């Protein structure tokens, strides 16, 4: 099996490129100059958030490696006849909407409660629109836009722009479609045993599994009168600096 053309389109389109910064709760202080105006606050936080996820944070050696690797374009090939490439169904849409939590809205101001109370004919219209996006590739430009809310980190200096976590609020409609596609992908990966042994972001699994394993490991060492050695480490900005190309390449090779 090969990664689908539709999935390739979705991955390429689902990268927000426009950022809308609204008011923050604290006033950052940049270069010992107090900033009070919202546009100035945005202008100080925006470059900081952008820099945190920049490839400039990679080591010189890894930058050379990644630049060379990324010269090879990822090839998504599919005849679009796979079952996970079928039209999105009404049951999938209803399930995705019903499992949505009442989180904050994105730039389009469409709330999940609005979607949950749509009349049947409106739901059918929405399904047709999503299938047009899925099959024809008519991705709404507004879905590329997210509202970024800066949240100050606990017990950190609120005057430093580096001490804010950006929370991106995207369209609820976009997230509903994302959930529908994700359910298909998870089903396919789990069914074909293509996910490495892990508990991250998988149903019926959590960090408790790792804690139980660690406890069992320690108890077994006590019983056998042996030493148990554990190493814990924290990677700074691990999520921000994730090598996306490497993840996509590994994913493609795992299903080809």
Whole-model pTM? 0.73
Element of type H or E holding 29: strand 29-30
Q: Enumerate residue ranges in the chain where pLDDT < 70.
A: 1-33, 196-201, 254-256
CA distance 132 to 84: 16
pLDDT at 10 (0 to 100): 44
Q: Report CA dihedral (37, 43, 46, 51) to the nearest 10 degrees.
A: -140
Q: pLDDT, tens digit, for every residue of 76-119?
A: 777 777 788 899 999 999 999 999 998 889 999 999 999 999 99
Q: Report CA dihedral (107, 109, 110, 111) to the nearest 10 degrees.
A: 110
Q: Half-sphere exposure of 216 toward its Cβ, with a 13 Å CA cutoff? A: 6
pLDDT at 9 (0 to 100): 45
CA distance 200 to 198: 6
186, two tokens: 């998870």
pLDDT at 2 (0 to 100): 36
80, two tokens: 């679009």
pLDDT at 5 (0 to 100): 45
9, two tokens: 């389109």
Token pair 């590329």: residue: 144
CA distance 42 to 45: 5
Q: Half-sphere exposure of 219 toward its Cβ, with a 13 Å CA cutoff? A: 6
């Amino acid at each position: 099996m090969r990664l689908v053309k539709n999935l390739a389109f979705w991955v390429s389109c689902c990268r927000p490129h426009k950022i809308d910064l609204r008011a923050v709760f604290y006033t950052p202080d940049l270069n010992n100059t107090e900033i009070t105006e919202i546009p100035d606050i945005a202008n100080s936080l925006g470059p900081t958030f952008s820099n945190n996820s920049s490839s400039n944070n990679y080591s010189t050696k890894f930058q050379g490696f990644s630049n060379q690797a990324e010269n090879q374009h990822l090839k998504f090939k599919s005849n679009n006849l796979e079952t996970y490439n079928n039209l999105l169904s009404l049951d999938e849409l209803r399930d995705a909407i019903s499992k949505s939590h009442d989180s904050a809205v994105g730039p389009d101001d469409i709330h999940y409660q609005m979607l949950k109370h749509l009349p049947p004919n409106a739901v059918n219209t929405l399904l047709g629109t999503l299938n047009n996006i899925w099959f024809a590739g008519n991705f709404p430009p507004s879905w590329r836009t997210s509202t970024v809310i800066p949240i100050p980190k606990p017990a950190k200096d609120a005057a430093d722009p580096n001490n804010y976590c950006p929370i991106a609020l995207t369209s609820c409609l976009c997230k509903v479609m994302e959930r529908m596609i994700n359910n298909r992908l998870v089903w396919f990966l789990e069914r074909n045993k293509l996910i490495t042994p892990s508990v991250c972001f998988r149903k019926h699994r959590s960090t408790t599994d790792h804690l139980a394993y660690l406890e069992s490991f320690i108890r077994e060492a006590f019983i056998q009168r042996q030493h148990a050695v554990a190493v814990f480490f924290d990677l700074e900005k691990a999520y921000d600096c994730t090598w996306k190309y490497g993840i996509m390449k590994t994913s493609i090779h795992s299903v080809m």
